[in-house]
């Protein structure tokens, strides 16, 4: 029966409102006081039922909720024959709850939209070679799927055959379609705007990037910040305090109506709802714009950040370095290039890929005893020769002599902003290669926006040589720059900044920099939706879109301000109502409930403004 009554709350609200209208029409138009009285009685009785059930459920778990206060107040009004008060209070409380739910649903629209974007079916290639429509849950890794124009990509995978343009807004927040052809990666939930693709499934179900985004946004919206936890604790003690205050007022004044009016006006509804609605709306805005904010604690800390530390490669730069300069100290160029390519083929480092791309077709040799030196390079054996490929520090570590002429070349290459890769065969340096990355388009303007938002220190930490890092720093106007930094060096430097009292955010690629991402108050991954980026960071900028960073910071600041505004509104209304109960004659239970419900709607609507937030 309790479940049935609670499921009919909206209908009970409608009936209660209708009866109140009938009551006043009968009194004011035809003067029938009997209909007036009994209509209000019935409205009071049916209106209190769902409220009393919720109060009873709260008391069972030893919580004195707002429903408890309203139930006592309405029963008290009923006992002193204040039918107008009891009927109007129950209606306003139920109607306010209806409006709260309706507007709260709108603040959760981002996650609802994401869920609705989830694909439900796929065209799967069967043994016969035909494509048959199946439910997306039936798709397994390795299946070949057909995606037609206008259809959603059902899983994460890569293109086998075909070309087309895909709208990846659900993943990256970018509305411009992205060209896809053979070998390109595709994400579940994105839409093929034109063309036809055959793709091979690589991740299915909850393992897809889209599935993880939905999961993360749901977890974030359900998380609680320190402010929310404080309000929960506050309400736990505040609500019983209001009940005790009303009892004390009754003992001293013997005024039942005044006591039950205090119960109604002291309800902390706007205070309880104000912070969560801001949190949900802020996270929803981020999800729409390709920014994953992992909870309200992230919003709290990121809004206070005064120092942002960047990794260079793949963050401030595109992450696609190219060979820019090269010098050889040998007459057997073909052998050196073959040895270099053979060693670099053992690595997946971006610099190694750039070298392989530059060398092109060559002879590859069998590489033995490969030793990857973290932050240095590779030491290996080829055809009985010891080959060392790496930076200057590795050459020194391996006791390889660098003569004056080569030192001059090194200085020259560093001044040009190159990352250096040297090749030594049997202790003799044979090649010096300079590799440069391009700075991301628009990064300088984005960094200016971060400064305008209150970030005092912009620091770059990189494994590259100091000359390269200084060049980037000068071009972008950063505060500090430190090169030759291994992952552990970056972590130590962040600890040093934190020891000075700075609140640090670290922006990296989510793979090599995971210790720094975890150590900083806020870890921000330029992740392109990769698993590691999503798992290790507090904020993920989908599709490695650096321009989302100022929007993320502005959004968290706006969300934190919105939370504070809602707290001020909620507390201010309660103080205003209780003050007027004691010091004015116009305040009564019905007016107080009307103002109380209006304050709840005000904080909800104020929070909903965040859904349309745009960075300036």
Which helix (H) or strand (E) element contains residue 10? helix 9-28
Please give the structure tokens belonging to residue 495: 């600890």
> Which residue, among 111, 213, 212, 201, has the nearest Cα to 153 in the 3D structure?
201
Phi, then psi, of 292 in degrees rounded to 5 = -100, 115
> Which residue, among 43, 42, 89, 19, has the nearest Cα to 589 in the 3D structure?
89
C-alpha neighbours within 13 Å on the C-beta side of residue 292: 37
> Which residue, among 565, 596, 491, has the nearest Cα to 275 in the 3D structure?
565
Render 204-266 in DSSP notation, one character per residue.
Answer: -GGGSHHHHHHHHHHHHHH---HHHHHHHHHHHHHHHHHHHHHHHHHHHH--HHHHHHHHHHT
Residue 311 is among the residues annotated as catalytic for this protein: yes
For residue 219, how many other CB atoms are within 10 A of its CB?
12
Which member of 67, 143, 156, 311 is catalytic? Answer: 311
Q: How far apart are CA 13 and CA 16, in angstroms?
A: 5
Please give the structure tokens belonging to residue 258: 């005044």
Q: How many residues does the chain have?
A: 616
Phi, then psi, of 480 in degrees rounded to 5 = -140, 160
Which residues lie below 8 Å from residue 572, measured CB to CB, with a gap of 6+?
none
Q: Strand 539-541 to strand 522-525: parallel, antiparallel, or no bridges (unpaired)?
A: parallel
Q: How far apart are CA 397 and CA 390, in angstroms?
A: 11
> Which residue, among 224, 290, 280, has the nearest Cα to 108 in the 3D structure?
280
User: Interior CA angle at 257 toward 255 and 263, to 5°?
Assistant: 110
Q: Which residues pair with 125 in a beta bridge?
A: 131
Q: How far apart are CA 587 and CA 377, in angstroms?
A: 78
Looking up tokens 């100290």 gives 329
The residues assigned a catalytic role are 311
């Amino acid at each position: 029966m309790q479940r049935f009554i609670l499921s009919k709350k909206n209908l009970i609200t409608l009936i209660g409102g209708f009866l109140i209208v009938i009551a006043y029409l009968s009194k004011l138009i035809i003067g029938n006081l009997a209909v007036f009285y009994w209509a209000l009685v019935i409205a009071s009785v049916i209106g209190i039922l769902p409220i009393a059930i919720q109060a009873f459920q709260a008391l069972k778990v030893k919580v004195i909720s707002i429903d408890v206060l309203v139930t006592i107040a309405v029963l008290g009004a009923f006992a002193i024959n204040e039918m107008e008060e009891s009927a109007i209070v129950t209606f306003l409380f139920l109607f306010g709850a209806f409006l709260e739910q309706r507007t709260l649903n709108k603040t959760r629209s981002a996650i609802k939209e994401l869920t609705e974007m989830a694909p439900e079916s796929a065209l799967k290639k069967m043994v016969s070679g035909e494509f048959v429509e199946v439910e997306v849950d039936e798709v397994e890794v390795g299946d070949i799927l057909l995606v037609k124009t206008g259809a959603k990509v059902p899983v994460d995978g890569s293109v086998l055959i075909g070309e087309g343009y895909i709208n990846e807004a659900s993943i990256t927040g970018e509305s411009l379609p992205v060209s896809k052809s053979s070998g390109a990666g595709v994400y579940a939930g994105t839409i093929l705007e034109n063309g036809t693709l055959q793709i091979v499934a690589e991740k299915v179900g909850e393992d897809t990037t889209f599935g993880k985004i939905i999961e993360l946004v749901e977890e974030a919206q359900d998380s609680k910040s320190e402010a929310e936890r404080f309000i929960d604790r506050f309400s736990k003690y505040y609500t019983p305090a209001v009940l005790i205050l009303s009892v004390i007022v009754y003992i001293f004044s013997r005024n039942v109506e005044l006591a039950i009016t205090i119960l109604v006006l002291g309800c902390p509804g706007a205070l309880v709802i104000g912070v969560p609605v801001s949190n949900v709306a802020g996270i929803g805005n981020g999800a729409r714009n390709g920014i994953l904010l992992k909870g309200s604690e992230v919003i709290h800390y990121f809004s206070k950040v005064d120092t942002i530390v960047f990794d260079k490669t793949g963050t401030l730069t595109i992450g696609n370095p190219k060979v820019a300069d090269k010098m050889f100290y040998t007459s057997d160029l073909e052998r050196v290039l073959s040895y270099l390519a053979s060693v670099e083929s053992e690595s997946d480092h971006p610099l190694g890929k750039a070298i392989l791309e530059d060398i092109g077709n060559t002879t590859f040799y069998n590489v033995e005893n490969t030793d990857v030196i973290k932050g240095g390079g590779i030491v290996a054996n080829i055809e009985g020769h010891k080959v060392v490929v790496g930076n200057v520090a590795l050459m020194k570590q391996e006791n390889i002599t660098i003569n004056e002429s080569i030192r001059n070349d090194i200085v020259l290459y560093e001044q040009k902003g190159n990352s250096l890769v040297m090749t030594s065969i049997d202790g003799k340096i044979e090649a010096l290669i300079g590799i440069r990355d391009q700075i991301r388009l628009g990064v300088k303007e984005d960094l200016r926006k971060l400064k305008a938002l209150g970030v005092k220190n912009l620091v770059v930490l990189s494994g590259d040589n100091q000359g390269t890092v200084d060049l980037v720093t000068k071009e972008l106007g950063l505060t500090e720059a430190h090169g030759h930094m291994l992952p552990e060096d970056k972590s130590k430097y962040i600890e040093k900044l934190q020891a000075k009292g700075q609140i640090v955010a670290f922006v990296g690629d989510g793979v090599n920099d995971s210790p720094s991402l975890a150590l900083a108050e806020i870890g921000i991954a330029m992740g392109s939706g990769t698993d590691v980026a999503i798992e290790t960071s507090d904020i993920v900028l989908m599709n490695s879109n650096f321009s989302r960073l100022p929007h993320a910071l502005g959004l968290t600041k706006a969300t934190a301000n919105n939370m504070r505004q809602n707290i001020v509104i909620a507390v201010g209304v309660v103080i205003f109502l209780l003050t007027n109960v004691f010091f004015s004659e116009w305040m009564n239970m019905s007016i107080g409930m009307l103002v109380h419900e209006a304050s709840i709607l005000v904080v909800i609507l104020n929070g909903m403004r965040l859904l349309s937030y745009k960075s300036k």
